């Protein structure tokens, strides 16, 4: 009985796209939305939930595998760009906390100086120009 069901399911899924990263991501959005709309009155949320569900089913059972594959690739590219943006943003912020960023008055090279060292001589690493700065 179970084997028969599994067989039928396997047969049904043959030639169909299945679950990918984009589907998993949409599923998480859907779950978050469902939780959100249980606590907050958000009439548009119900429509969004149905739309997401339709898109999910459509993609998972789609037979246009190459097109779904391309969508997923696009999604992964966007996702990695998004994640690296936040990673850079965070490291930039922590650099600003611990360092001053100066520009060499001679060649405009950006120079990173640790904060809290008082008056110091800065030597530009690219042109060798020296200047005083308070850090």
> In sequence order, what are the residues at sequence separation of 6 or more whose Cβ sits closer than 8 angstroms to the Cβ of residue 1?
none
Answer yes or no whether residue 129 interacts with Zn ion by CB under 5 A. Answer: yes
Piece of 37-45, 65-73, 84-92, 108-116 that binds Zn ion (CB under 5 A): 108-116
Q: Which is nearer to Zn ion, 42 or 131 (CB)?
A: 131
Applying CB under 5 A, which of residues 63, 82, 127, 130 lies at the interface with Zn ion? Answer: 127
What b/e readout covers 56-93, taking b as 16+ CB neighbours within 10 angstroms?
Answer: beebbeeeeeeebeebbeebeeeeeeeeeeeeeeeeee
Answer yes or no whether residue 104 interacts with Zn ion by CB under 5 A. Answer: yes
Whether the CB-CB separation of 120 and 132 falls below 8 Å is answered with: yes
Piece of 1-9, 28-36, 66-74, 98-106 that binds Zn ion (CB under 5 A): 98-106
Footprint of Zn ion (CB under 5 A):
104, 106-107, 109, 124, 127, 129
């Amino acid at each position: 009985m179970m084997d028969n069901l599994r067989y039928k399911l396997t047969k049904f899924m043959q030639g169909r796209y299945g679950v990918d990263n984009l589907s998993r991501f949409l599923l998480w959005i859907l779950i978050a939305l469902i939780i959100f709309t249980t606590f907050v009155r958000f009439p548009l949320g119900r429509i969004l939930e149905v739309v997401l569900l339709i898109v999910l089913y459509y993609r998972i059972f789609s037979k246009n595998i190459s097109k779904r594959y391309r969508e997923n690739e696009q999604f992964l590219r966007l996702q990695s760009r998004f994640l690296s943006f936040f990673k850079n943003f965070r490291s930039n912020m922590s650099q600003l906390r611990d360092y001053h960023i100066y520009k060499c008055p001679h060649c405009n090279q950006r120079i990173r100086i640790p904060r809290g060292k008082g008056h110091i001589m800065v030597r530009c690493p690219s042109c060798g120009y020296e200047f005083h700065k308070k850090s």
